[in-house]
């Protein structure tokens, strides 16, 4: 247990820092993903044929290619490309930080998944409700904000909450670029001290805490979102 104490001989502080880093990337990536997802779902449902095809390529490719490959390509090939461009322009080389790359990659990946979650949820909204919005002259944006979005939330929340939990754990991928997030520091602590069980359980507990807190918040949001929906109760 002393291994987990917060100050130096113990690794608790390192783990907490790792958690903080993970959360930073996860929140950034998730929000970016949500933005992309909203645009993507709207584009897939209401966009022109070209946009729809492009989005289909995006969601298929990004979901299909393992995140690890994406992050390596972006981090190595991408920085190379950016720096060559900078050189051509006579500018000094930039160093894309692990954090930026991480948020970007996780955001792009999450965007592809949320596009599909949101599309499914929007399709689940009874079409009449959206028709009513249009019939009264709501602009697409307004009806998205006032009607579509709140009406589809109950259908989207489970999928979106899954994505959030996946985001918190996908940060582990950034270990390949040496980004000190929770999974990596856990492995380091465990490997150094050989106290595998202790550290893996500790990390598990930290993740679980994040989940429980998230569940609490999601629960509140979901409760609000489900107002007005008659639940299918017992199968009496």
Partner 1 sequence: MDKVDRQINADGEGNMTDKAQAIEVRDLYKRFGPLEVLKGVSLSASQGDVIALIGGSGSGKSTFLRCINMLELPTAGSVTIHGETIEMKQDGHGGLMPANRRQIQRIRTKLGMVFQSFNLWQHMTVLQNVIEVPVHVLGQPKDQAIAVAETLLRRVGLYEKRDAYPAFLSGGQQQRAAIARALAIQPLVMLFDEPTSALDPELVGEVLSVIGDLARENRTMILVTHEMKFARQVASHVIYLHGGVIEEQGPPEAIFENPQSERLKKFISSIH
Partner 2 sequence: QEVKVGVDSGPYPPFSSPDASGKWVGWEIEIMDALCAEAKLKCVLTPLAFDGLIPALTSKKIDAIMSSMSITDERKKMIDFSDKYYNTPTAVIGPKGVKFEPTAEGLKGKIIGVQVSTIHAEYAQKYFGKAVSEIKEYQTQDEANADLAAGRLDAIQADLITLDAFLKTDAGKACCELKGNVKDDPAILGSGVGVGLRKEDTAMKDKFNAAIKAIRTNGTYDTISKKYFDFNIYGK
Partner 3 sequence: MSEVTAIPAYQAPKARSLFEPHRIFLMVLFAIILLSMAWFMRWDWIPKYQTRLLWGIWETIVMLFSTAIAGFILAVPLGLVQVTGPKPLAWLARGFCTLIRGTPLLLQLWLLYYGLGSLFAQYPEIRQSFLWPYLRQAWPYGFAALTISFAAYEGEVMRGAFAGVPKGELEAAKAYGMGRFTMFRRIWLPRAIQRTLPTLTGETVIQLKSTPLVATVTVVDVYAVISKVRQDTFLTYEPLLLLAAIYLILTGILVFSFRQLEKRIPNRGV
Q: Which of 106, 165, 175, 185 binds partner 3 (CB under 8 A)?
A: 165
Q: Is 20 in the site for partner 3 (CB under 8 A)?
A: no
Residues 6+ apart with CB under 8 A from 82: 94, 96
Q: Between 169 and 187, whose beta carbon lies closer to partner 2?
A: 187
Q: Is 67 in the site for partner 3 (CB under 8 A)?
A: yes
Alpha helices (runs of H) in the chain, residue ranges in sequence order? 12-46, 49-64, 67-72, 79-88, 98-124, 127-135, 140-143, 149-170, 182-193, 196-225
Q: Is 91 in the site for partner 3 (CB under 8 A)?
A: no
Q: Is 93 in the site for partner 3 (CB under 8 A)?
A: no
Give the interface with partner 2 as residue ranges (CB under 8 A). Answer: 8-11, 13-14, 72, 76-77, 79-80, 175-178, 180, 184, 187-192, 194, 196
What is the C-alpha to C-alpha distance for residues 162 and 59, in angstroms, rounded to an integer?
Answer: 17
* Cβ 152 to partner 1 shortest distance, Å: 10
Within its chain, how far is the Cα of 152 from the centroid?
19
Residues 6+ apart with CB under 8 A from 167: 26, 29, 30, 33, 106, 110
> Under the rule (CB under 8 A), what is the footprint of partner 3?
45, 49-50, 53-54, 57, 59-61, 63-69, 72-73, 76-77, 113, 116-117, 119-120, 122-127, 130, 154-155, 157-159, 161-162, 165-166, 169, 172, 183, 196-197, 200, 203-204, 207-208, 210-212, 215, 226, 229-236
């Amino acid at each position: 247990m002393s291994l987990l104490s917060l100050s130096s001989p113990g690794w608790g502080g390192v783990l907490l820092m790792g958690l903080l880093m993970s959360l930073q990337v996860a929140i950034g990536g998730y929000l970016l993903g949500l933005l992309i997802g909203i645009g993507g779902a709207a584009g897939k449902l209401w966009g022109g044929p070209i946009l729809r095809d492009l989005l289909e390529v995006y969601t298929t490719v990004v979901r299909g290619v393992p995140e690890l490959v994406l992050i390596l390509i972006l981090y190595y090939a991408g920085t190379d490309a950016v720096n060559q461009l900078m050189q051509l322009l006579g500018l000094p080389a930039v160093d894309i930080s692990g954090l930026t790359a991480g948020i970007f990659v996780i955001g792009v990946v999450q965007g592809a998944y949320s596009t599909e979650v949101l599309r499914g949820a929007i399709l689940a909204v009874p079409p009449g409700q959206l028709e009513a919005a249009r019939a009264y002259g709501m602009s697409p944006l307004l009806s998205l904000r006032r009607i579509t979005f709140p009406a589809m939330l109950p259908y989207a929340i489970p999928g979106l909450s899954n994505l959030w939990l996946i985001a918190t754990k996908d940060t582990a991928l950034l270990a390949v670029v040496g980004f000190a997030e929770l999974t990596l520091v856990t492995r380091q602590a465990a490997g150094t001290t050989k106290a595998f069980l202790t550290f893996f359980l500790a990390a598990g507990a930290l993740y679980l805490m994040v989940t429980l807190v998230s569940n609490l918040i999601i629960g509140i949001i979901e409760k609000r979102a489900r107002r007005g929906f008659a639940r299918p109760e017992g199968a009496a």
